[in-house]
Amino acid sequence: MEPFPARLHVLLAREASVGVVIRRGPSNRVCTILWDRDKDKFKLGQWLKGRIYERRSDISADGKHFIYFAMNGKWQSESKGSWTAISRAPYLKAITIFPQGDCWLGGGLFTERDKQGKNLYWLNSGGCEPLRTTSEVLEDSHFVISKRFNSECLGVYYPRLQRDGWTLTERQPTADLFEKPIGQGWLLRKIAHSQSKHPPGKGCYWDEHQLVHPNRGKQVNYPDWEWAELDNDRIVWAEGGCLFASKIDRDGLTGKKRLFDFNDMVFEPIEAPY
């Protein structure tokens, strides 16, 4: 059986033309890559021998910081085998870290900036004590999540989608539908699956996508898109371990371009420059 392609999830900064690509494969190896969206250039951050739960992660609006929940199973270590960390994007070295010891809750969201311009964050935890903190980022003591979807990935992922302009349009037993207008009368639809019986190569949480034009009664299915988003005037998506971009016109996608192929990347030890 051929190996599965690299699995990709991307976080786009809302106020800066950068993003963080979370690249997984094999299953116990993951790395982060900085994406310069103006030039479509990519720079490797760091690798982790373990798992990053991408749906419990976020990038700050200015693209400077990255919050993530990770697990390496070293339960007797100071990180307790699973932890929430805040780093300087795209690196993984923690400037703030909350050891946890299980995979319940974890991760978080960036909320806003304070008067001094420091990024504020909300922690999706049950009162974990920090191992290390910094005044570079601060916990938002006033932020309250509007609706709790669950205590795992969706408890961070769904609020992040809604914050970033997605509308939850329908809830189903094993999948929820989100939509976002992308221009020319089209909607980008995200089908967010949540099920224990999942296709090979997928986790219990996985997405597929559609382009829908309600006024023309047109729908185009893209079941192999594992992530997709509107990036200014183009659609960007992950498929088969690669990142793609395309413009949108009245007939749909036009001018498809492959931006980068992440499949051949292999683990290498890298130190963060801080």
What are the pLDDT tens digits along the chain (274 aa)? 677 899 999 999 999 999 999 999 998 999 999 999 999 999 999 999 999 999 999 999 999 999 999 999 999 999 999 999 999 999 999 999 999 999 889 999 999 999 999 999 999 986 788 999 999 999 998 998 877 787 788 999 999 999 999 999 999 989 999 999 999 999 999 999 988 777 777 778 999 999 999 999 999 999 999 999 999 999 999 999 999 999 999 999 999 999 999 999 999 999 999 9
Cβ neighbour number for residue 116 with a 10 Å cutoff: 7
C-alpha dihedral, 161 to 221 to 224 to 240, nearest 10°: -100
Decide if 23 contacts 31 (C-beta within 8 A).
Answer: yes
The answer as to whether 95 is a domain residue is yes
The answer as to whether 272 is a domain residue is no
The answer as to whether 196 is a domain residue is yes
Q: Is 42 exposed, middle or buried (0-12, 13-18, 19+ CB in 10 A)?
A: middle
Decide if 268 contacts 230 (C-beta within 8 A).
Answer: no
Our CA angle for 86, 89, 95, nearest 5°, is 30
The per-residue pLDDT for 1 is 60
Decide if 244 contacts 258 (C-beta within 8 A).
Answer: yes
Rg (CA), the chain: 18
Residue 234 token pair: 């183009």
Residue showing tokens 């299953």:
27
Residue 235 token pair: 């659609």
Decide if 154 contacts 161 (C-beta within 8 A).
Answer: no
The per-residue pLDDT for 134 is 95
Buried b (16+ CB within 10 A) or exposed e, 138-169: bbbeebeeeeebeebbbbbbbbbbeeeebebe
Decide if 170 contacts 189 (C-beta within 8 A).
Answer: no
The per-residue pLDDT for 234 is 97
Decide if 227 contacts 262 (C-beta within 8 A).
Answer: no
The answer as to whether 271 is a domain residue is no
The answer as to whether 273 is a domain residue is no
Please name which of 235, 238, 234 lies closest in space to residue 224, comparing C-alpha atoms.
238
Cβ neighbour number for residue 221 with a 10 Å cutoff: 13
The per-residue pLDDT for 126 is 65
pTM for the predicted model, two decimal places: 0.95
The answer as to whether 269 is a domain residue is no
Domain with 57 in it: 7-261
- Write out the E strands in 3-162: 7-12, 18-24, 30-36, 41-48, 51-52, 58-59, 65-71, 82-88, 94-99, 108-113, 119-123, 137-139
Residue 35 token pair: 């994406």
Strand 218-222 relative to strand 227-231: parallel, antiparallel, unpaired? unpaired
The answer as to whether 266 is a domain residue is no
Instruction: Give the chain's domain count.
Output: 1
Strand 41-48 relative to strand 65-71: parallel, antiparallel, unpaired? unpaired
The answer as to whether 239 is a domain residue is yes
Ramachandran assignment for 128, one of left (phi > 0), alpha (psi -120 to 50 degrees), beta (any other): beta
